[in-house]
Homo-oligomer: A and B are copies of this chain.
Amino acid sequence: MENSLNSSIVELLGNVRRTKPLVHHITNYVTVNDCANATQAIGASPIMADDIEEAAEITAISSALVLNIGTLNKRTVESMIAAGKEANNRGIPVILDPVGAGASELRNETVRRLLAELRFSVIRGNMSEIRYIAGLRATTKGVDASEADLENSMQSGMDIARALANQYHCTIAITGATDIVSDGKSVFCVENGHPMLSSITGTGCMCTSLIGSFCGITTDYRMAAVAGLLCMGIAGENAYEAAGQQGNGSYRVAIIDEISKLSPETINRRASVYEARV
């Protein structure tokens, strides 16, 4: 059954493919190729540039900026700040993926500094990362959400997302079995996805790149976040059907396949997204 949410997302996807927004990434070297290919698969155009001498200049010609701290270092953190300030000055959306927040003092300090010096349009993380940012007890296990943090209730997740969105005047996206998106007022839940997504590296990072791609063509960042989560989730489901039994390698390839093949029909048929009563 089609609904207005699905229609909005179908329209956003069409716009990404028509306008091919340039999405500047300062990101980690583990999943950077996945992020580039996911960005192209959804229809946008990726560019990775992390030297302080060009970071702001590349941001200036881009439609969105994705900052991912997965393999942060002192050199690239400065580039993130410079690029982020340029984006803020120009009204270009900035998306944060706080990979591993809570796992080291460097990551914690960097997240604090990024949040203090930059304004973000969307912050996407797993429950442990978002709990850490919210100042709650978070028991991160490296770059994955911990079991303990996942045991908190959906209601708790929605409350955290909404409060954090209000605190930072941005959209918060928490990925998990059910994804949660809030702009501080409304809350959306995306039930698409597949458990196998967490068995390969980079699906969180790719999800953030998809959100960045959508942010490049709309100022409705809440809907851009919903669209990114939904596209990743549906691709994860379709990829499981296509290749899940073959193993992790084939599943990883199929995810990019399915992102590139997302159609209005697929979205209307598979989307499971709704606005929660809060």
Binding site for B on A (CB under 8 A): 22, 28-34, 36-37, 40-41, 45-51, 53-54, 57-58, 61-62, 70-75, 100, 103-107, 141-144, 199-202, 246-250, 252-261
Contact = CB atoms under 8 A, between A and B. Distances in A.
Contacts of A106: 51, 53-54, 57
Contacts of A255: 249
Contacts of A258: 247
B248 A257 contact: yes
B103 A74 contact: no
A34 B74 CA distance: 25
Given A249-B255, A249-B260, 16 more contacts: A22-B142, A30-B32, A37-B252, A40-B200, A41-B247, A46-B201, A47-B103, A47-B142, A49-B104, A51-B74, A54-B104, A61-B103, A61-B141, A247-B260, A250-B254, A253-B253
A257 B261 contact: no
A191 to B, nearest CB: 24
12 contacts: A28-B48, A29-B29, A29-B32, A36-B201, A37-B248, A51-B106, A57-B104, A57-B106, A246-B257, A247-B260, A248-B256, A248-B260
Assembly stoichiometry (copies): 3
A54 B108 CA distance: 10
A254 B252 CA distance: 11
Nearest to A28: B48
Nearest to A72: B51
A73 B51 contact: yes
A175 to B, nearest CB: 17
Contact of A45 (B31, B105, B142, B260): B142
A258 B248 CA distance: 8
Contacts of A143: 45, 47
Nearest to A140: B61
A44 to B, nearest CB: 10
A250 B259 CA distance: 12
Given A254-B249, A259-B248, A200 B142 contact: no
Given A33-B30, A142-B62, A252 B252 contact: no
B260 A256 contact: no
Nearest to A105: B57
A259 to B, nearest CB: 7
A142 B64 CA distance: 13
A250 B257 contact: yes
A252 B257 CA distance: 10
Contacts of A260: 199, 247-249
